[in-house]
């Protein structure tokens, strides 16, 4: 186990709703990244936070937003859910900014 | 943007056989990561390679980085059912924390 936890494990939402996914990193891991993994694909980078500030973003619309807290936990918020948002969402934390530990993921299904 | 192509897409081997998975990048590799993923679960870090010609081993898994060819290979010796899963290569670019992943290679090991 990596010490990175995510909640919930599974989630079912309706199109148009909003969702918040949570991640808890190891103490000292002040860098956290979020990835979206569609079925049969590799993970796609959503954004990264370093010391509670967003310092990088992938090709995702503004309805994907995040927060990082001083206690090394973080959130991914998605507004106005679309069917294509159905995926496994992974968070990854790092102490060094070089090696990343991934959490088990949250499986989001949008109907 | 950087793209990673993995081959083969899937692989079925008899227990005890050796196998190789390849990962080719469209751009210069500054850091190459190998992860293993069980279906629908989080990523397990295997190895990271940074220097051309670098080779690392962990138990029966060896990874090499050919910087000139912008390619990395993952070799498993005497495969076991516990090696089954999806192997993902990921790469970071120059000055970038964002990891770009290949689509993965699905490995099945038949007892």
Reading chain A (111 residues) residue by residue, the pLDDT tens digits are 668 999 999 999 999 999 999 999 988 888 999 999 999 999 999 999 998 999 889 999 999 999 999 988 999 999 999 999 999 999 999 887 778 899 999 999 999
Burial code (b: 16+ CB inside 10 Å, e: under 16) for B10-48 equals ebebeeeeebebbbbbeeebbbbbbbbbeeebbbbbbbb
Q: How far is B41 from chain A (nearest CA, A)?
A: 5
A residues 48..67 contacting B (CB < 8 A): 48, 55-56, 58
DSSP conformation class of A14: -
Please enumerate in sequence order all residues whose Cβ is within 8 A of that of B95, keeping only pairs 6 or more positions apart, or say none.
none
Question: Using alpha carbons only, what angle is made at residue B51 by residues A51 and B71, rounded to the nearest 5 degrees?
Answer: 105
pLDDT of residue B50: 86
Euclidean distance between the first and the last CA atom of chain A, given in angstroms as a whole number = 31
Nearest C-alpha neighbor of A51 from the set A94, A3, A21: A94
Q: What are phi and psi of B81, to 5 degrees?
A: -55, -30
Which chain A residue has the Cα nearest residue B6?
A: A42
**Taking the CA atoms of chain A, what radius of gyration do you get in angstroms?**
13
Between A and B, how many CB-CB pairs are < 8 A? 62
Q: Tell me the per-residue pLDDT of B49-100, one tens digit each, with 9 for 90 and over.
A: 987 788 999 899 999 998 888 999 999 999 999 999 999 999 987 666 789 9
Question: Using alpha carbons only, what angle is made at residue A55 by residues A58 and B89, rounded to the nearest 5 degrees?
Answer: 50
Residue B51 Cα distances to B15, B30, B48, B100, angstroms: 32, 8, 10, 18
Contact criterion met (CB < 8 Å) for A42 and B42:
no
């Amino acid at each position: 186990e990596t010490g990175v936890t995510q909640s919930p494990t599974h989630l079912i939402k309706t199109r148009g709703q909003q969702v918040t996914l949570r991640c808890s990193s190891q103490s000292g891991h002040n860098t956290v990244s979020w990835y979206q993994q569609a079925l049969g694909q590799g993970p796609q980078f959503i954004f990264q936070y370093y010391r509670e500030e967003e310092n990088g973003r992938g090709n995702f619309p503004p309805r994907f937003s995040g927060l990082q807290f001083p206690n090394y936990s973080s959130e991914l918020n998605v507004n106005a859910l679309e069917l294509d948002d159905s995926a496994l969402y992974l968070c990854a934390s790092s102490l060094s900014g070089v090696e990343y530990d991934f959490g088990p993921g949250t499986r989001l299904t949008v109907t | 943007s950087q793209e990673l192509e993995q081959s083969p897409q899937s692989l079925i081997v008899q227990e005890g056989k050796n196998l190789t998975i390849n990962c080719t990048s469209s751009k210069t590799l500054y850091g190459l990561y190998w992860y293993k993923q069980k279906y629908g679960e989080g990523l397990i870090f295997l190895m990271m390679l940074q220097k051309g010609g670098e080779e690392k081993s962990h138990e029966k898994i060896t990874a090499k980085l050919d910087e000139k060819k912008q390619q990395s290979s993952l070799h498993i010796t005497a495969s076991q059912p516990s090696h089954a899963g999806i192997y993902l290569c990921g790469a970071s670019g120059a000055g970038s924390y964002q990891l770009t992943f290949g689509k993965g290679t699905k490995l099945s090991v038949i007892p």
